[in-house]
Amino acid sequence: MTNDIRTVLIGVMIGLATISHKAISQPLPVPVVPPSPENPVQPTPPTPFDSPNPEFSPPQPLSSPETWRNPRRIYTFTGHNTAVDSLFFSLDGTILISGGSRNDGKIKFWQLKTGREIDSLRAQRTSVSVLGLSPDGETLVSSGTDSAVNLWNWRTGDYIHQFRNHTSNVLSLAITPDGRTLVTGALDGIRLWDLTKQRRIYTLARFDNQTYGLAIHPDGDILASGHKFGSIKLWNLNTGQSLNQIRAHRGSVNALAFTPDGQTLVSGSYDRTIKVWNLRTGQLAQTLSGHTGRVWALAINPDGETLASASRDGVRLWNLRTGELLALLTAHEDWVHSVAFSPDGTLLATGGFDRQIMVWQIPLVSGEELAQRSQ
């Protein structure tokens, strides 16, 4: 992280923020390894099929806000028994992973080449509220309302380990870019876990920090957490020191995301607004309004300029630089709970309370158009 960005992050929003400093709790003993989840289903590794779906187009480069004005729906997946609470793409963008909500507790694997469900496993006793994949693509992490944090081998589908320290719903998770540290946020605070040694590192915040959203800066040393009463907190992950507290929203901060360049933080809230924070200047850059319900989830495209937000009225696509609304996707029949962009930025997955998963793709463009955009 450059010195100027680090300085701004540490002092960000001083004019708007109430600064607090809290000592972290002491490292805790290694917990006893609990038994594996009830009746885990061991899936076979995802394998390719020979019959591609004609609606699916090969990935295209140069995703940009303009390409998301008229996305086309290429798939509608059904299979979960309840709402789809979480979505994630594999690192190569060929597999979509989804997590079911209340009393579903399943992770499903969808192959995008064919549009087929290729595996399913019972991951949690209740819901799979959050999913994450380690940067090396080896470890899949799931958690939910049963408070258990489960680790799975992505390649084999084998159950690896369970972290059992939270006492309430786990609503968010994030993994550091080096893949060593997992951060989980719940109604009883924030925990840090060592993924290599499979042990708890320390408790960052307890019950007075009911945590709804988490995001880790691309450099890996700053954590942003969103809380029940509208605040965003910045933490130094190396020391556990609380850096700043930003009075950001009038409702719970449910979703957070950093842009790939680390210069912008975006927050979504129960107050129906999205706020864009410029970390270079330390100022609120803009407020995006228009959703008619709580902002449940956010995703930033790898292009760093396109934002997807999910709410009761569907999915909105925004130009982060200008604040312009690019598109409104209203195909879901009810609340949209989850959104995710593919690693190449050309696909968007959306999951809703209607039990459906929809996959959207940017329109096909000609070679001449691609050449013009690259200039």
Listed in sequence order, the residues at least 6 apart from 321 whose beta carbon sits closer than 8 Å to its beta carbon are 65, 305
pLDDT class of 120 with cuts at 50, 70, 90: confident
pLDDT class of 124 with cuts at 50, 70, 90: low
Residue 53 pLDDT exceeds 80: no
The predicted structure's pLDDT at residue 251: 93
The predicted structure's pLDDT at residue 368: 56
Gap between the terminal Cα atoms of the chain: 29
Q: Which residue has the tokens 């933490």?
A: 235
Residue 11 pLDDT exceeds 60: no
The predicted structure's pLDDT at residue 374: 47
Q: Report the relative pairing of strands 336-341 and 325-329 from DSSP bridges.
A: unpaired
User: How many CA atoms lie within 13 Å of 300's alpha carbon, on the beta-carbon side?
Assistant: 24
Residue 182 pLDDT exceeds 70: yes
Residue 373 pLDDT exceeds 70: no
CA gap 19, 188 in Å, rounded = 22
- Looking at residues 30-48, what average pLDDT do you find? 37
CA gap 279, 300 in Å, rounded = 16
Burial track 238-260 (b if 16+ CB lie within 10 A, e otherwise):
eebebbbbbebbebbbbbbbbbe
CA gap 211, 250 in Å, rounded = 15
Residue 19 pLDDT exceeds 50: no
- Looking at residues 44-61, what average pLDDT do you find? 42
Q: Which residues pair with 139 in a beta bridge?
A: 153
> In this structure, what token pair is assigned to residue 205?
């915040």
- Looking at residues 326-333, what average pLDDT do you find? 96
CA gap 174, 292 in Å, rounded = 28
pLDDT class of 369 with cuts at 50, 70, 90: low
CA gap 252, 212 in Å, rounded = 7
pLDDT class of 47 with cuts at 50, 70, 90: very low
256 within 8 A of 214, measured Cβ to Cβ: yes
pLDDT class of 74 with cuts at 50, 70, 90: very high
pLDDT class of 208 with cuts at 50, 70, 90: low
What percent of the chain shows pLDDT beyond 90? Answer: 55
pLDDT class of 62 with cuts at 50, 70, 90: low
Q: What is the pLDDT of residues 236-290, one digit of tens each?
A: 998 889 898 888 999 999 999 999 999 999 999 999 999 999 988 878 999 999 9
- Looking at residues 168-194, what average pLDDT do you find? 92
CA gap 173, 184 in Å, rounded = 4
CA gap 255, 248 in Å, rounded = 12
The predicted structure's pLDDT at residue 148: 86
Residue 374: exposure state from Cβ atoms within 10 A (0-12, 13-18, ≥19): exposed
What percent of the chain shows pLDDT beyond 70? Answer: 79
Q: Which residue has the tokens 């709804």?
A: 212
Listed in sequence order, the residues at least 6 apart from 351 whose beta carbon sits closer than 8 Å to its beta carbon are 83, 84, 85, 86, 87, 98, 336, 337, 338, 339, 357, 358
> In this structure, what token pair is assigned to residue 344?
């190449």
Residue 175 pLDDT exceeds 70: yes
The predicted structure's pLDDT at residue 365: 60
